[in-house]
Every structure is written in structure tokens, then in C-alpha cells.
Amino acid sequence: MGGELIELQAEPEVSVVAAPEPIALDIVYEDDALMAINKPVGLVVHPGAGNPRGTLMNGLLHHAAELDRLPRAGIIHRLDKETTGLLLIGKTLEAHTALVRLLADREIARRYVAICNGVLTGGGTIDEPIGRHPVDRKRMSVRPEGKPAVTHYTVLHRFAAHTHISVALETGRTHQIRVHTQTMGHPLVIDERYGDKDANRRAGKLGLKRLFLHAQSIAFPDKSGNELHFTAPLADDLDDFLSHGLRTPKSTKRRKQK
């Protein structure tokens, strides 16, 4: 019709400069086009404020120098410093572009395992928009003006005071699982940013020393339409806590994670 006002909120990508560093990488899969990495706890994905070096991006550039031609050394998505598990890296511009498109179209299935405080009665879906916290800029929160965020979760096992859950992401907002579980009143255990201090202290007495959130599997179609599926086992400390730190499950015996 003409005369309409169009308002854009541009978010330019921050320029990141990183140098190659010999950092050990747990490579789950690698070919000429892509890599799947099992990120350990404590490893920051790419350089930023307070983390100028020693990141996954530095390690990737040392592993494959040609990645310096790609945005963020080919890294497709991120995991928090405290979160372990699978990350995808495109090794060529074609592969990187294809993976970014698959992620945007929600065709990359990402599944996490986590332990939250309290006993959930069943699974469900959390559909709440997430945006930057209005006061604490290091936190995210459910905000009416936030970006759409959808999290699906199912109960794996119920314990006396905790629930072991499987989580599937429909979107990938910053801190999405941590914010959404907090919103429903069951924050993740040992979550120093979004959790409950008393509950964190009790979980610490049971043997857990860090956030229990692990990106366990990723699946997506390759360019021929065949599904690629990668999994990463729990780190020993998380596995020990699940096996021995918690009390006997209320309803079912624990099944070994693939």
C-alpha cells in the first residue's frame, strides 16, 4: 500500500580474533566437511571478555588451520562454559552454510540430559520467550518481549529430591534450558547462576561439584538426505553422581545412557 514504517533491530556479529593454541580436543567424528566435538566442562567456546585465549576456537585453529577462513572457525552453535557435550563445526564454507541453515530451520535435533531439583510428575513443553535480564545483564530471563523459546522435556528417573530428565530443544536461546527449568520451579542442580543455593549445597554433599547439563546427542540430514547421528557419553563425575550420588529411583531402575 505504501507509507508503511519498517523498524529493524540489527545485531551485528562481534568480530572475534583468535590465535591457534594446542588444546586437546575430544573429537567424536571428523571428515572433510564437518566435525563433532565433545566439549569438556570449563572450556569456553570462543574468545570474549575475560576469556581472550584457551578456548575451543583456539584449539580448532591449531587442529585445522584452514578454519581461519570461516566465521568463528566453523563453530555452528555454543554451549555454556559449565555445560558439556556435543558441538558441531563446519570445516568448509559450504558445510558451514548448510549447517547454519539446518539449525535455523530447526532440522538439527539436539538432545540433552540434565538433573533438576525436585520431583517432576511428568514431561511437558515450556514455551516462554527469553530475553536479557532487565537488571543483571549476565543473566537471561523469561520476558514478554524476548525471543521465542521452546523446550520439550521427558522424565527419565525420579529420585527422592531430584529428577533426571531428557531435554529436546526446538530453539536455541542463551541459557534456554537453565532459564526454562528455573521458570517451572525446578532449576538444574549446581546451577550457580539460576539455581537455589540451599539445593546446590545439598547436591554438593551428595558428591556433585558442578552443573549437571550434558548435550548428549545431535542428529541431522546430510546433503544426500541420510541422517547423521552423534552421541557423547557423560563425563565420569556426572555418571558417578547419577549412579551412586543419588538415592534409588522411585519408579524405575537407571538405564545406562548410550
- Catalytic residue positions? 80
Q: What is the Cα–Cα distance from 90 to 228, expressed in whole angstroms?
A: 14
Q: Which three cell numbers stand for residue 170?
A: 526446538
User: Bridge partners of 221?
Assistant: 227
CA distances from 123 to 26, 117, 177 (A): 32, 14, 14
Q: Is the CB of residue 193 less than 8 Å from the CB of residue 178?
A: yes
Tell me which residue has cell 540430559.
113
Q: Which of 116, 77, 123, 93 is closest to 203 using CA atoms?
A: 116
Q: Outline where DSSP puts E strands in 133-241.
A: 140-142, 150-158, 162-169, 213-221, 227-231
Helix (H, G, I), strand (E, B) or coil at 136: coil
- The answer to whether 40 and 30 have CB atoms below 8 angstroms apart is no
**What are φ and ψ of residue 144, in 5° steps?**
-55, -35
